[in-house]
Amino acid sequence: MRVVLASESPRRIRLLKRIFRSFSVIPSGFDEKQFIEKDPAQFALKVAEAKARKVAEEYPEAVVIAADTVVTIDGLILGKPKDREEARKMLETLSGRTHQVITAVVIYQQNQNKLLSDFEISQVTFKPLKESDLELYLDKDTYSDKAGAYAIQEIKDTFLERLEGDYNNVVGLPIQRLRRLLHRFLEEKTELEIDSFLLPEGLGVAEQKEHTYFVPGAYPGDRVEIAFESSSHQNIRARLISIIRPSPHRQPAPCPHFGRCGGCNFQDLAYREQLRQKKLYLLRVFKDYLPASYRYLEVEDVLPSPDEYYYRNKMEFSFGQQENEIFLGLKKKNLNKEHRKNKKVVPLEKCLLSTPLTEKLFPLFAELVKSSKLPVFDLNSKQGFFRHLVIREGKQTRQLMLLLVTTSQAQLDLSGFTERLFQAVPQLKSFWWVENNRIADVVSLEKMHLLYGTEAIEENLLGYRFKIYPGSFFQTNPRAAQVVYSKIAEEAKRLRTQSALGLYCGSGAIEICLSKVAGEVVGVDWDPASIKAARENVRINNLNNVRFEESSVENILPEIYRGAFDLLLIDPPRAGISPKGLRQIASLQIPNLIYLSCNPVTLARDLNFLGSKSYRINRLIPVDFFPHTPHLEVLAFLSR
């Protein structure tokens, strides 16, 4: 394959060498002044395409790469200056202000009639320019072949205050965007049938000849057209072009934002099929980790969530802004790995995972931001005020908690707004203003102000009351958790449990739900806030056979003597149990063990170890806590 760069710019030549070891340099000689186009991006695209087509006339078999860079400010396009005076005027226009640099890239192969194009935009802010610095730069006489009369690498120490976006784009060739464009340009296409599904990645899988294709967005039973780069590797990641014949398991997604928003993955896959695929995923994981005993495992069908929609009791929404539009939303869905760092917020009218109240809450808070005239926090510049809205809701009690998260860059008077908020959503029981100045895109409860109502809301599970504070850990799908806690209590009752030990207990929901069937229950967690909430939950439920200890698992287990407990409950984080913790658990030889896991991989790993220490897996009950996502909870019952 011959590659031709339709430019003699030394900057573009140097950058293109990062992709290709060898290529031809053939300038187009195209006069861009013949184009009249007001839109800067369209102007750059038209010029770059014209350059590529002109060179391709002489080299029709070659892959021709062309680019055009424009500088724009106040809607004006600043091209290459014709003389020193025009260069001075351009730089004076840019002085102390922010402008945009747009580079369009075109790839063209005439004999294949293939053309792809795209463009990159960077924001460049100049310092106020001193006359002496300006004249010194103009004396170098290097401005004549540069859009906007400057090259970023020549002026960055003197003129540049800030650059947001791709530096190479400002130099003249956005390498990362060009790489992505080349991947698409060199792709082959084919049709195939999707045979299976790969979780948690969410990839359709097809076997064809000597290759296995992995296709984001495809489901078993789909007949699809895909594009892929030719490769000698057996496994090939492909791009879905179109669905020729949809799978019988496909369904219309009820959410108008599905496909763009990253809140869920599989709304367009029938729920029954989601559950089937999650069981197949679990079986694959256990076959890998427990090949010897795999065939003897008793794995039940996945228990569905009692609620397919509106099941989450906690969600964090981000504020976003597009020009003058203010909105709340979730991060954009990113199927392609090169786009995973994209942090754009997709505006939402409602969220089918959170609560029906989002349709009322989103416009209320968007109007608050707009009327305050304070900016939305920008992750790139780390400047701005409004960051997140956190919604917590008792699914059984219907009590609502809201946390408005901002930076500390301004003061906020919410007295009048709180009254309007309560009138719109009478379910509101707790409203907090949270100041969070962390750079990372996380909700951190650094400084908190209770603006309305009580500090906590309540939830009911199996007849018990639970307090939920802003920072409390509580199962995200309470009604599904209630199903699981019932299964645990049934097992404890069958075993005639006298004493139960719960590790990683959080706010104590499992342990409290066991209090009716066990003589004594002890919960352990390292987090002081969780233990404080757990002890309060014991008090409000008037329990005298449940207590909680603040400690890490590794520190408390050596203090427990063998025979102290006849049932062990484990509900660890996604990382599972530490190797030290596993050894300590095995040494206690507690006869019965119940392990609730949110990560099948770490569960299988830990059960493999426990199996080597004389524990037998009696049952596995998978439970869907998160419909329309790849996540799966698994309840494992073990005995010695």
pLDDT digits (tens, 9 = 90+) for 36-46: 788 999 999 99
Alpha-carbon distance 269 to 271, whole Å?
A: 6
DSSP lists the bridge partners of residue 100 as 72, 123
Instruction: Report the phi/psi class of residue 137: left, alpha or beta, with left for phi > 0 and alpha for psi in -120 to 50.
Output: alpha
pLDDT score for 426: 95
Alpha-carbon distance 586 to 615, whole Å?
A: 9
Query: Which has the closest alpha carbon to 584: 557, 615, 618, 551?
Result: 557
Cα 36 from chain centroid (whole Å): 41
Look at residue 326 and give its three-state secondary structure: strand
Instruction: Give the helix/strand (H/E) hosting 64.
Output: strand 63-73
Contacts of 10 (CB under 8 A, 6+ apart): none
Alpha-carbon distance 87 to 57, whole Å?
A: 34
Query: Which has the closest alpha carbon to 69: 166, 185, 183?
Result: 166
Alpha-carbon distance 471 to 550, whole Å?
A: 17
pLDDT digits (tens, 9 = 90+) for 561-574: 989 999 999 999 99
User: Confidence class of residue 486 from pLDDT cuts 50, 70 and 90?
Assistant: very high
Looking at the predicted structure, is the pLDDT value of residue 447 above 70?
A: yes
Q: DSSP character for 303?
A: B
Alpha-carbon distance 266 to 191, whole Å?
A: 23
- In the predicted model, what is the mean pLDDT of the chain? 93
Mean pLDDT (whole number) for 446-469: 95
Query: Which has the closest alpha carbon to 263: 343, 361, 332?
Result: 332
Token output for 29: 């000689």
Alpha-carbon distance 419 to 88, whole Å?
A: 56
Query: Which has the closest alpha carbon to 314: 431, 476, 441?
Result: 476
Walk me through the domains of the chain, giving residue ranges and CATH numbers: 3-182 (3.90.950.10), 187-250 (2.40.50.140), 279-306+477-639 (3.40.50.150), 314-461 (2.40.50.1070)
What residue type is 158 in one-letter code? T
Contacts of 185 (CB under 8 A, 6+ apart): 63, 107, 109, 114, 116
Instruction: Give the helix/strand (H/E) hosting 457.
Output: strand 457-461
Mean pLDDT (whole number) for 236-260: 95
Cα 435 from chain centroid (whole Å): 23
Looking at the predicted structure, is the pLDDT value of residue 339 above 50?
A: no
Half-sphere exposure in the Cβ direction for 208 (13 Å, CA): 13
Token output for 602: 């770490």
Looking at the predicted structure, is the pLDDT value of residue 338 above 50?
A: no
Alpha-carbon distance 635 to 11, whole Å?
A: 59
Looking at the predicted structure, is the pLDDT value of residue 22 above 60?
A: yes
pLDDT digits (tens, 9 = 90+) for 62-104: 999 999 999 999 888 998 898 999 999 999 999 999 999 999 9
Alpha-carbon distance 285 to 603, whole Å?
A: 9
Looking at the predicted structure, is the pLDDT value of residue 273 above 90?
A: yes
What residue type is 552 in one-letter code? S
How many CB atoms sit inside 10 A of residue 11's CB?
A: 18
For the chain, give percent helix, strand, coil, nearest 5: 30, 30, 40
Angle at 510 between CA 507 and CA 512, to 5 degrees: 80
Looking at the predicted structure, is the pLDDT value of residue 341 above 60?
A: no
pLDDT digits (tens, 9 = 90+) for 490-506: 999 999 999 999 999 99
Looking at the predicted structure, is the pLDDT value of residue 317 above 90?
A: yes
pLDDT score for 337: 44
Q: DSSP character for 232?
A: S
Q: Name which of 133-142, 203-212, 288-297, 584-593 the model is least confident about.
A: 288-297
Alpha-carbon distance 615 to 108, whole Å?
A: 63
How many CB atoms sit inside 10 A of residue 16's CB?
A: 20
Alpha-carbon distance 445 to 503, whole Å?
A: 25
Instruction: Give the helix/strand (H/E) hosting 187.
Output: strand 187-193
Looking at the predicted structure, is the pLDDT value of residue 288 above 70?
A: yes
The answer to whether 382 and 439 have CB atoms below 8 angstroms apart is: yes
Mean pLDDT (whole number) for 509-533: 95
pLDDT score for 459: 97
Angle at 590 between CA 587 and CA 591, to 5 degrees: 130
pLDDT score for 90: 94
Alpha-carbon distance 488 to 517, whole Å?
A: 10
Query: Which has the closest alpha carbon to 275: 300, 257, 294, 256?
Result: 300
Share of the chain above pLDDT 70, in %: 98
Alpha-carbon distance 6 to 26, whole Å?
A: 5
Looking at the predicted structure, is the pLDDT value of residue 342 above 70?
A: no
pLDDT score for 79: 84
pLDDT score for 519: 96
pLDDT score for 344: 84
Mean pLDDT (whole number) for 214-234: 92
Alpha-carbon distance 473 to 523, whole Å?
A: 14
How many CB atoms sit inside 10 A of residue 462's CB?
A: 14
Mean pLDDT (whole number) for 422-427: 94
Contacts of 99 (CB under 8 A, 6+ apart): 71, 72, 73, 78, 123, 124, 125, 126, 148
What is the phi/psi pair of residue 565, to 5°? -130, 145
pLDDT score for 75: 85
**Greater pLDDT, 379 or 337:** 379
Q: What is the dihedral of CA 557, 559, 563, 567, to 10 degrees?
A: -30
Query: Which has the closest alpha carbon to 443: 391, 401, 398?
Result: 391
Q: Which residues are catalytic?
A: 68
Alpha-carbon distance 600 to 104, whole Å?
A: 46
User: Confidence class of residue 168 from pLDDT cuts 50, 70 and 90?
Assistant: very high
pLDDT digits (tens, 9 = 90+) for 23-61: 999 999 887 777 778 899 999 999 999 999 999 999 999
User: Confidence class of residue 511 from pLDDT cuts 50, 70 and 90?
Assistant: very high
Contacts of 188 (CB under 8 A, 6+ apart): 227, 228, 229, 230
Spell 72-83 as b/e; 16+ CB within 10 A means b. bbeeebbbbbee
pLDDT digits (tens, 9 = 90+) for 620-631: 999 999 999 999
pLDDT score for 343: 67
Q: Is the peptide bond before 252 cis (omega within 30 degrees of 0)?
A: no
User: Confidence class of residue 598 from pLDDT cuts 50, 70 and 90?
Assistant: very high
